Amino acid sequence: MDASLTRSIFDVLSVTSILVLLVMGMAVIVGMMKVFNLCQGEFVLLGALTAYLTYEIFGSVLLGILLAPIMVGAFGLLLERTVIHRFYANPQGALLATFAVGLIIREGLRTTMSTQASPVPAPISSSWVIFGATLPVWRIVIMAVTVALLIVAAVILIKTSVGLRVRATLNNPELASASGVSRKWMYAWTYATGSALAGFAGAMIVPLQTLYPNLGFDNLITMFIAVMVGGLGSFAAPVVGAVAIAVPGSIMSILINPVTAQILIVLCAIVFMRLRPNGLLKSGM
Amino acid sequence: MKRKSMTVGSRGALRSVALLATVGLVLAGCSSSDTASETEAEATATQSETTEAAAEEEVDTSPIKVGVLTDLTGAFGIVGQSNQAVAQFTIDEINANGGILGRPVELVIVDSASDPAVGAQVASKLVNEDQVDVVIGGVASNMREAIKDIIATRGNTPYIWPASYEGNECTPNVWNVGAVPNQQVDPVVNRLLAEGKKTFFLTGNDYLYPRSVLAQVRKVVEAGGGEVVGEEYVPLDITDTSTLVSKVLASNADVLFEIIVLPATAPFIQGVVDGGFEGEIVGTLFDEAINGIIGTQADGLLGIQDYFATIDDTFSRDKVAEFAAAYPDEAGLFSATFNAPAWYRGLYLWKTAVEAAGTTDAAEVEKTMDSASYDALIGGPASMVPGTRHAQLTMYLGQMNADGSVTIIESLGSVVPEQCG
């Protein structure tokens, strides 16, 4: 295998794993809870910011990666109890409210930052040479972590009683609360979990994308397309959606060019959603 | 020249009913101008002879007004802070040396907030309410496009565009004092070709500036017997540059000429450098500031600018040291990519033109600015090339070092802009 083909395959895997990692939080909040959470991108941004701050203050990005899910998860919990829970019966309201929250975070950071973009180094900056291609180790770490997280999420949702309660509450809130599950806290913790996953993803990817106010927003569109293509109502569908757009997207980027690829992907997604409005997977775990 | 711009101005005003209010303001300024100062008359005076005669008879000591329009807030806020400080520094210096035509100079500073719509409003305020004698400013080209007609055409006020940009701005009353693509591209590409580097990979974001600069690169490379082995554009909101990095690495080009703007700059260049790219990496946006963005991977990048902090020019070094002492908070913001030398240059070239004309009258300055020339400038002497509305500039090729300093590889001498001709 020659170096350039190795790099191409690696790029496809890397781009896909990054999108899957980013979409996991969204799969919980948009996929499972069906809250159209327009500040999902800003959760990613807050995670990235955490990594940047721990790097600036303590000199450690790794610390930020560990702290990001806790900080952003706590923020998500607070947000759910103060704002989001008021809008479960009013999706349009949720759309506006979450957009506003995102706007405040994004523009707040823009006015605070003294530069347009701040780099954050990867915790592991070395490269491996595989088939003559020099491949950054941090991207390999992201692939491994993404796969591990997917397995953990699947096990929790399918095998544990917590997973059962979550699925029960989201599928039939009335019956679940009649069976003794606290609907209020189940929603709050689920939302917090989705936030924590997004924050973790943000801290993981910021070394590859630099910290800038639109970091979350620029990723949000692709994340939403992934959810729409995959379908609502489950955790698995958005993840499948992410793979379904990242793989052809990165292949087109390689074979044609990134500008055309971006347009074609959105075009394909629109046509696909017209043909299959419920997405690739209708329901699942 | 004056008649021509007057005609354009009145046609522009008649085009839209919404402009009636503006016309009213200008007329109001006109009626009070014959007693106050000749500056107010410039916008709408119908008989310049009368104004000039009046100016000769009485000695005018009213302040000359310089409008400063820049992005003090928003995405380009940091550049605007630098611009504002440089403008203030330059005008303080001019005033300390007796002002212009014996008149003091005062600044009217407005914030265009990195938003062309806001820029259009504040440009209109500068021209119609403050009735400034000249406007200098703008950071990005979309800002220039939004304000130039308001200032230069409808407002009939000289407008100095102090930024290196893609070129082709030839509107009357607009003066371009930053570098255009051929000034940044030609010397370095010819030098690389002469060194035996024949294959070039060109890449940038998908908008006008990178496309214009890289078109010039392609032209010079092909004329000089080199070969463009790849040319690729990426969206401005690209989040992952890995596929582009792979294409650059696969090309094995001798030279990567790149104009990838923030925020993708660092990930892209880090990817290319860490991936083992062995050719030269050249760009029009590299100067001392790039280290803060890219980190140690900036080591070895080649940049072409009208100024670097390390150029061998005592005047520039002394002036920048004076600036740093006067504006300690902005000391680190005096750089070529923040247009700092161009702001200093633009204000002095305009001062020279006003002194040659003996008046701030737009029509007279339009004639004298055409060949304005000044030597005591940061970065070296500059002169407007008659008939081109652009400036001949001293350019430098610098190599970025890991510690953030720049080693001057070559002083490229005075380079003529190929514009508006």
Mutate: best of A8, A257, A264, partner B, most B CBs <10 A: A257
Burial B221-243 (b: 16+ CB within 10 A, else e): beeeebebbbbbbbbbebbbbbb
Residue whose tokens read 């990054």: A18
State whether residue A254 sits within 8 Å of chain B by CB.
yes
Helix (H) or strand (E) holding B49: helix B48-57
State whether residue A106 sits within 8 Å of chain B by CB.
no
**% residues pLDDT > 70 (chain A):** 98
- Are the Cβ atoms of B242 and A214 closer than 8 angstroms? no
**What is the distance between the alpha carbons of residues A78 and A101, in angstroms, rounded to a whole number?**
12
**pLDDT score of A173:** 80
- Are the Cβ atoms of B266 and A117 closer than 8 angstroms? yes
- Are the Cβ atoms of A136 and B271 closer than 8 angstroms? yes
Q: Closest approach of chain A CAs to the CA of B190, in angstroms?
A: 28
Arithmetic mean of pLDDT, B252-280: 93
- Are the Cβ atoms of B206 and A259 closer than 8 angstroms? yes
Q: Is the pLDDT of residue B245 over 50?
A: yes
CB pairs A-B closer than 8 Å: 97
**What is the distance between the alpha carbons of residues B230 and B202, in angstroms, rounded to a whole number?**
6
**pLDDT score of B36:** 41
Secondary structure in 3-state letters for B141-208:
HHHHHHHHHHHHHCCCCCEEECCCCCCCCCCCCEEECCCCHHHHHHHHHHHHHHCCCCEEEEEEECCH
Contact between B90 and B348 under an 8 Å Cβ cutoff? The reply is yes
- Convert the pLDDT of each residue in B360-383 to its tens digit: 999 999 999 999 999 999 999 999
**What is the distance between the alpha carbons of residues A19 and B236, in angstroms, rounded to a whole number?**
19
Contact between B110 and B125 under an 8 Å Cβ cutoff? The reply is yes
- Convert the pLDDT of each residue in A123-154 to its tens digit: 998 889 888 888 999 999 999 999 999 999 98
**pLDDT score of B40:** 43
**pLDDT score of A1:** 67
Nearest to B250 among A4, A111, A218 (CB): A4
- Convert the pLDDT of each residue in B268-324 to its tens digit: 999 999 998 999 999 999 999 888 888 888 999 999 999 999 999 999 999 999 999
**pLDDT score of B237:** 86
- Are the Cβ atoms of B265 and A218 closer than 8 angstroms? no
- Convert the pLDDT of each residue in B198-227 to its tens digit: 999 999 999 989 999 999 999 999 999 999
Contact between B24 and B13 under an 8 Å Cβ cutoff? The reply is no
- Are the Cβ atoms of A15 and B243 closer than 8 angstroms? yes
Q: Which chain B residue has its CA at the smallest distance from A215's CA?
A: B239
End-to-end CA distance of chain B: 17
- Convert the pLDDT of each residue in A3-31 to its tens digit: 889 999 999 999 999 999 999 999 999 88
**pLDDT score of B376:** 94
Contacts made by residues A52-57, CB under 8 angstroms, sequence distance 24+ = A52/A118, A52/A120, A52/A206, A52/A211, A55/A120, A55/A121
**pLDDT score of A281:** 75
Averaged confidence pLDDT in chain A: 90
- Are the Cβ atoms of A115 and B250 closer than 8 angstroms? no
State whether residue A206 sits within 8 Å of chain B by CB.
no
Query: Which residues in B lie closer than 8 A to residue A210 (C-beta atoms)?
Result: 262-264, 266-267
Q: Closest approach of chain B CAs to the CA of A3, in angstroms?
A: 8
State whether residue A119 sits within 8 Å of chain B by CB.
yes
With cut-offs at 50, 70 and 90, classify the pLDDT of residue B43: very low
**pLDDT score of A232:** 85
**What is the distance between the alpha carbons of residues B207 and B211, in angstroms, rounded to a whole number?**
6
**pLDDT score of B57:** 55
State whether residue A248 sits within 8 Å of chain B by CB.
no
Nearest to A209 among B239, B274, B294 (CB): B239
**DSSP 3-state of B380:** coil
- Convert the pLDDT of each residue in A75-129 to its tens digit: 999 999 999 999 988 888 999 999 999 999 999 998 888 777 888 999 998 889 8
Averaged confidence pLDDT in chain B: 86
Q: How many CB atoms sit inside 10 A of residue B253's CB?
A: 23
**pLDDT score of B24:** 36
- Convert the pLDDT of each residue in B318-355 to its tens digit: 999 999 999 998 888 899 999 999 999 999 999 999 99
Q: Is the pLDDT of residue B174 over 80?
A: yes
Query: Which residues in B lie closer than 8 A to residue A15 (C-beta atoms)?
Result: 240, 242-243
DSSP state string for A142-174: HHHHHHHHHHHHHHHHHHSHHHHHHHHHHH-HH
Q: Closest approach of chain A CAs to the CA of B273, in angstroms?
A: 10
- Convert the pLDDT of each residue in A171-216 to its tens digit: 888 888 888 888 888 889 999 999 999 999 999 999 999 999 999 9
Query: Which residues in A lie closer than 8 A to residue B264 (C-beta atoms)?
Result: 210
- Are the Cβ atoms of B263 and A215 closer than 8 angstroms? yes
**% residues pLDDT > 90 (chain B):** 73
Q: Closest approach of chain B CAs to the CA of A122, in angstroms?
A: 11
Arithmetic mean of pLDDT, B405-410: 93
Bridge partners for B137 per DSSP? B69
**pLDDT score of A208:** 92
Q: Closest approach of chain B CAs to the CA of A173, in angstroms?
A: 38
Q: Is the pLDDT of residue B191 over 60?
A: yes
List the structure tokens of B311: 């150029």
Q: Which chain B residue has its CA at the smallest distance from A129's CA?
A: B275
Q: Is the pLDDT of residue B75 over 90?
A: no
- Are the Cβ atoms of B78 and A219 closer than 8 angstroms? no
**pLDDT score of A252:** 93
Q: Which chain B residue has its CA at the smallest distance from A111's CA?
A: B74
Bridge partners for B321 per DSSP? none
Q: Is the pLDDT of residue B55 over 80?
A: no
Mutate: best of A2, A4, A55, A265, partner B, most B CBs <10 A: A4
Q: Is the pLDDT of residue B71 over 80?
A: yes
Q: Is the pLDDT of residue B104 over 90?
A: yes
Q: Which chain B residue has its CA at the smallest distance from A135's CA?
A: B275
- Are the Cβ atoms of A210 and B274 closer than 8 angstroms? no
Query: Which residues in A lie closer than 8 A to residue B237 (C-beta atoms)?
Result: 214, 218
List the structure tokens of B377: 């400038």
Contact between B268 and B201 under an 8 Å Cβ cutoff? The reply is no
**% residues pLDDT > 70 (chain B):** 86
**pLDDT score of B56:** 52
Query: Which residues in A lie closer than 8 A to residue B266 (C-beta atoms)?
Result: 117, 119, 210
Bridge partners for B397 per DSSP? B304, B410
- Are the Cβ atoms of A18 and B240 closer than 8 angstroms? yes
Q: Is the pLDDT of residue B49 over 80?
A: no
Residue whose tokens read 């030609």: B186
